[in-house]
Structure 1
Amino acid sequence: MGKADADGPGLPDLPPEWGRVVVPDDASALADEAEQVRRELRRQLSAQPRRWRSPGLPVLVLLIAVVTTVAGLFTVTWPRANRSPGPVSSSPEPTPAQLTSRTLPALDLVDARQSPVPLRGLLPAVVLLVDGCPCPDLIAATALAAPAGVSVVTVATGRPRAAPAGTEVRTLADPTGGLRAFLRVPARPDTVTALLADRTGRIVLVVREAASVADYHAELIRLAE
């Protein structure tokens, strides 16, 4: 048997417009009312515009989200052939064989008075780049071995180095570093780079690290031919 709930002690106040509310002891007594509520809900849903009940729009939104996520993952994980691992590296140094038979560039070096000296005007010549080492013994030995008519030239970056006593070595400077830039051979400590060019300006031999005249003696002799 039901009892009035609005007047019961300890229960919250209910709106007065609800009237007297009776809570049945058996919940099955509310079956008719529950069915009536379900019918009303179904009627309201059927009365809504059809476009709001269509699953097309939610499915489209979900599809776009999935495609965007997959595309982002694909972009991140796809290996890029052109991706650079770091700063752009400089061009590799050419091998001596790659430099052989190339034409000596038309560079102007300077002497001790800062007067320009065309490098091609000294051909045929053996050019010793002495930035990393004055190496007077190697220079003197080269001057002694050079045949008549072949110039022995030393080139430094800052200013010309003094020639060994008793030699006819032409000492010049290359302030702009044009010759080393052409050869792409950096200066190394205690190292002389030797360049031999014939009378036409063709490079005959490049020795990156010359230890003695023996490294280029045969080619030095042929420069006089």
Structure 2
Amino acid sequence: MGMPDAEGQGPPDGLPGLPPEWGRVVVPDDASALAHEARQVRRELRRQHRRTGWRRRLGLVPGPDGRPPLGLPILALLVSVLITLTGLAAVTWPRSTRSGGSPTVVPYPTASLAVIGPLPALDLVDTGNSPVSLRSLLPAMIVLIDACACPERVTEAAAAAPAGVTVVTVTEGRKAETSPVPGVRALADPAGGLRAYVHLAPHPGTATALLVDREGTLVRVVPELGPVGAYRDDLVKLAA
């Protein structure tokens, strides 16, 4: 069994001086008694070596001249990029609808009369390719049929129009075709001025109607021309 020094504390003979705060140090005669402590020390040294190796690989160890490690700002930048990408993915990732996957229906846009303003002085062309001033036909119900001829709707409008109100069909192109509906004036709008005027793109299967009084004021826009009962009152007012 190990022996302390002569005073009962401190290192035995042959060992260098140890700090007094260590207290009494006993050195065993058999080194195998320290095997457990030795394993703990080796385990801690290996753990510290692995930690230091990873920090060195990631650039987190200060340089030999005391400069701060370069890996810290790079690591912070990578974390910021990952957070940003995660946020973008959460916003843009498609979500399944709870209504059985039914698509969202966007209503057909309607035009605001305050934005459109009065009817401009447009010159269209008739079936004989002759210019026709649109204002000369006022008051009028102007039906844009470039997306749908809709003869049944045009026929209903012509039958409901009061005396003095002209029903005009307008299609895009260089020349208008004769209207199959009696009493309806057919014109063509080669420059697409009317579509640009109402700010409405053609919608397949529907016709758009403009109700304009004799002063050129746009009374109503019907984006999808339907049954005449939906606009009959405004149509009658055009003749006033």
Could you say which TM-score interval applies, normalised by the shorter chain? 0.5 to 0.7
Summarize the alignment of residues 63-142 of structure 1 with structure 2, pairs less than 5 Å apart.
Answer: 63-79=72-88, 94-95=109-110, 98-99=112-113, 102-142=117-157
What amino acid is the match of 1:188?
Answer: P
Q: Confirm or deny: 8 A CA contact 1:185 1:208 kept in the other structure.
A: no
Q: Confirm or deny: 8 A CA contact 2:143 2:209 kept in the other structure.
A: yes
Structure with a larger share of its residues in strand: 1
Deviations along 1:65-103, one digit per CA (max 9) or x if unpaired, are 3233234334433449x99x9xxxxxx85425x237832
Alignment match, 1:186: 202
Deviation at 1:173, TM superposition (A): 0.8
Other structure's SS at 1:60 match: coil
| Alignment partners' CA distance in 1, 2:197 and 2:230 | 21
What amino acid is the match of 1:160?
Answer: A
Alignment match, 1:62: 71
Q: TM-score, normalization: structure 1?
A: 0.57
Q: Confirm or deny: 8 A CA contact 2:168 2:186 kept in the other structure.
A: yes
Deviation at 1:60, TM superposition (A): 3.3
Alpha-carbon distance change, 114 to 69 in structure 1, aligned in 2, over 3 angstroms: same
Q: TM-score, normalization: structure 2?
A: 0.54
Q: Does 1:208 align with 2:212?
A: no
What amino acid is the match of 1:113?
Answer: G
Other structure's SS at 1:65 match: helix
| Alignment partners' CA distance in 2, 1:187 and 1:67 | 52
Deviations along 1:26-62, one digit per CA (max 9) or x if unpaired, are xxxxxxxxxxxxxxxxxxxxxxxxxx844x22x3323
What amino acid is the match of 2:110?
Answer: T
Of the structure 1 ranges 113-122 and 171-180, higher mean CA displacement relative to structure 2 is found in: 113-122
Summarize the alignment of residues 168-187 of structure 1 with structure 2, pairs less than 5 Å apart.
Answer: 169-183=184-198, 184-187=200-203
Other structure's SS at 2:69 match: helix
Question: Number of residues paired by the alignment?
Answer: 161
Deviations along 1:98-123, one digit per CA (max 9) or x if unpaired, are 23783234433221233332323322
What amino acid is the match of 1:146?
Answer: A
| Alignment partners' CA distance in 2, 1:172 and 1:64 | 70
What amino acid is the match of 1:215?
Answer: A
| Alignment partners' CA distance in 1, 2:153 and 2:78 | 69
What amino acid is the match of 1:134?
Answer: A
Alpha-carbon distance change, 213 to 53 in structure 1, aligned in 2, over 3 angstroms: closer
Q: Does 1:219 align with 2:228?
A: no
Larger radius of gyration: 1
RMSD: 3.2
Q: Confirm or deny: 8 A CA contact 1:93 1:185 kept in the other structure.
A: no
